[in-house]
């Protein structure tokens, strides 16, 4: 993993990032693509030195295939050859290096286990830059982007260090103009820092605390677990996943903004969605858009009946599940989610639209929380035992469930956990919604100066809190959902 260079760690925050930004701005504008490429390679060298050749090889393959596609742009049958070669090399390397789990004798790659052998074999960021390479070649083939004929800018794009940990997936068309000309001033730096510190706060303050709650509950005996404890645990996991992923994405977008690039939004308050479909339109948006654009849409041009729609959704969510990791639990998670979304879109949508918004949100939260257990617990038996705890607690019968004085719903541990984490849970609810953002927009509309002062004050406060957290040892753990 990128343990040495995780965004919330001391080496990155106090050494690499400041040095990289200072070095970037010291050099003239005409040299900054080359400087950023050098910074990218140094980051990769520090994070995963033994897998650097994989990145360099894929840069070369995608660059040369792009030149070949452009050369034969008027002869589609010839242009298809480098297109297929480039796609095949990207996908085959991704499968071989990331999904050994599914090969005979493959190891059980736990999402929370650090393994030196896997550090060597699974290059950091490979799920990001392989998909970016594929999207570049396809867009070039269909004349949606212009070919990049210079190696340095192309290599800089494919190896961009801010997105190597958690994305987002950035298509070449998103930043093609910025590669040539980008705006960098005090305003963009300020906005970039605001994004970065918000993302860092999500990870350090909310994500780490919720992960602590989940780990505490996960270690308990599920057969005797009360309902409240089970729901607190799964809420902790759900918020931990969200604030880790969205926090890293915000940090990536913030760093990119400081450097003059606009990365696309990757998370948009998904837990406020009123349907499963709505949830996934707000969660890991760049991955969803990529899968729909380069896998589902081509299929959709030929097949449009109900069965085809079901198959396309299953394909989409299988890919989504596998992107998160090379384990059977991720595959199962994607397949089940795809099936649920298919049922919702084909049959439940008319019913859901008639229900009150609150009911629809509760439905979405319950289903999503239940699905996170498949994502986070590799043992299906444990998943089923946890479901029982969530909905029946430790009750042997329904009469026991409803009897007075029963500990089926809550016990002393439940109340202790609720009291210990209540404040952070409330913060998670507010931070995971749109209320704070909407208040900020209203303040900015009514009084831009007051909004600016408030934003600066929040940035200072969050910076101090993050410094205290990092000084206290938070942020060093890299074993929880660091993307590959």
Report residue 328's pLDDT band, with 50, 70 and 90 as the boundaries. confident
Query: Model confidence over 284-296: pLDDT tens digits?
Result: 899 989 988 888 7
Report residue 113's pLDDT band, with 50, 70 and 90 as the boundaries. very low
What b/e sequence results for 24-44 when a residue is b if at least 16 CB atoms lie within 10 Å of its CB, and e otherwise?
Answer: beeeeeeebbebbbbbbbbbb
The 3-state DSSP class for residue 60 equals helix
Specify the pLDDT at position 106: 47
Q: Are 128 and 164 in contact (CB under 8 A)?
A: yes
Report residue 402's pLDDT band, with 50, 70 and 90 as the boundaries. low
The pTM of this model reads: 0.89
pLDDT at 110 over 60: no
pLDDT at 33 over 90: yes
Instruction: Select, from the ranges 236-245, 327-336, 405-414, 463-472, the one with the highest average predicted confidence (pLDDT).
Output: 236-245
The contacts of residue 341 (CB under 8 Å, 6+ apart) are: 276, 277, 280, 313, 317
CA–CA dist 152, 62 (Å, integer): 13
The contacts of residue 28 (CB under 8 Å, 6+ apart) are: none
The contacts of residue 148 (CB under 8 Å, 6+ apart) are: 63, 66, 154, 157, 172, 176, 179
Query: Model confidence over 84-95: pLDDT tens digits?
Result: 999 999 999 888
CA distances from 446 to 187, 223, 442 (A): 20, 54, 6
Q: Are 143 and 69 in contact (CB under 8 A)?
A: no
Report residue 310's pLDDT band, with 50, 70 and 90 as the boundaries. confident
- Average pLDDT of span 173-187: 88
DSSP state of 303: -
DSSP H or E segment with residue 113: none
pLDDT at 400 over 90: no
Query: Model confidence over 339-377: pLDDT tens digits?
Result: 888 888 888 888 888 899 899 999 999 999 999 999 888
Specify the pLDDT at position 399: 63
Instruction: Please indicate whether residue 184 or residue 245 has the higher confidence score (pLDDT).
Output: 245
Q: What share of the chain is helix, strand, coil (3-state, %, to 5)?
A: 75, 0, 25
- Average pLDDT of span 448-455: 81
11-15, 22-26, 440-444, 469-473: least confident range: 440-444
pLDDT at 261 over 90: yes
Specify the pLDDT at position 145: 93
pLDDT at 478 over 80: no
The contacts of residue 255 (CB under 8 Å, 6+ apart) are: 17, 161, 162, 192, 196
- Average pLDDT of span 106-119: 42
């Amino acid at each position: 993993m990128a343990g040495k260079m995780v965004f919330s760690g001391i080496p990155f925050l106090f050494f690499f990032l400041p040095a990289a930004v200072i070095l970037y701005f010291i050099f003239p504008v005409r040299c900054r693509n080359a400087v950023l490429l050098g910074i990218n390679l140094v980051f990769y060298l520090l994070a995963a030195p033994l897998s650097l050749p994989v990145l360099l090889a894929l840069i070369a393959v995608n660059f040369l295939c792009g030149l070949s596609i452009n050369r034969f742009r008027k002869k589609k049958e010839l242009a298809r050859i480098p297109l297929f070669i480039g796609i095949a090399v990207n996908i085959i390397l991704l499968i071989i290096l990331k999904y050994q789990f599914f090969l005979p004798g493959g190891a059980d790659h736990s999402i929370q286990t650090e393994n030196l052998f896997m550090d060597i074999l699974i290059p950091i960021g490979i799920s990001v830059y392989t998909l970016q390479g594929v999207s570049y070649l396809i867009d070039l083939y269909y004349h949606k982007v212009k070919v990049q004929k210079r190696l340095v800018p192309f290599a800089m794009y494919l190896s961009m260090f801010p997105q190597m940990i958690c994305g987002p997936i950035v298509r070449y068309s998103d930043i093609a103009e910025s590669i040539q000309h980008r705006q960098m001033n005090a305003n963009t730096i300020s906005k970039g820092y605001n994004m970065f510190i918000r993302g860092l706060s999500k990870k350090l303050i909310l994500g780490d605390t919720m992960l602590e709650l989940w780990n505490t509950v996960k270690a308990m005996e599920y057969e005797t677990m009360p309902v409240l404890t089970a729901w607190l645990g799964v809420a902790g996991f759900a918020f931990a996943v969200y604030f880790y992923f969205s926090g890293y994405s915000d940090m990536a977008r913030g760093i990119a903004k400081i450097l003059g690039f606009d990365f696309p939004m990757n998370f948009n308050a998904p837990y406020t969605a009123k349907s499963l479909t709505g949830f996934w339109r707000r969660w890991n948006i760049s991955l969803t858009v990529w899968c729909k654009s380069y896998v589902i849409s081509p299929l959709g041009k030929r097949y449009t009946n109900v069965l085809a729609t079901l198959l396309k959704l299953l394909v989409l969510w299988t890919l989504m599940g596998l992107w998160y990791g090379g384990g059977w639990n991720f595959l199962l998670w994607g397949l089940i989610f795809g099936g649920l979304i298919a049922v919702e879109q084909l049959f439940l949508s008319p019913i859901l639209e008639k229900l009150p918004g609150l009911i629809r949100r509760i439905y979405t939260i319950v289903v999503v929380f239940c699905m996170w257990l498949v994502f986070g617990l590799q043992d299906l038996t444990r998943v089923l035992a946890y479901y029982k705890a969530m909905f029946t607690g430790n009750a042997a019968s329904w009469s026991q469930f409803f009897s007075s004085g029963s500990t089926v719903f809550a016990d002393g541990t439940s109340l202790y956990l609720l009291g210990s984490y209540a404040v952070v849970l409330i913060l998670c609810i507010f931070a995971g919604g749109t209320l704070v953002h909407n208040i900020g927009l209203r303040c900015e509309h009514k009084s831009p100066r007051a909004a600016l002062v408030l934003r600066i004050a929040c940035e200072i406060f969050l910076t101090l809190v993050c410094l205290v957290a990092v000084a206290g040892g938070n942020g060093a753990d890299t074993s929880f959902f660091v993307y590959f």
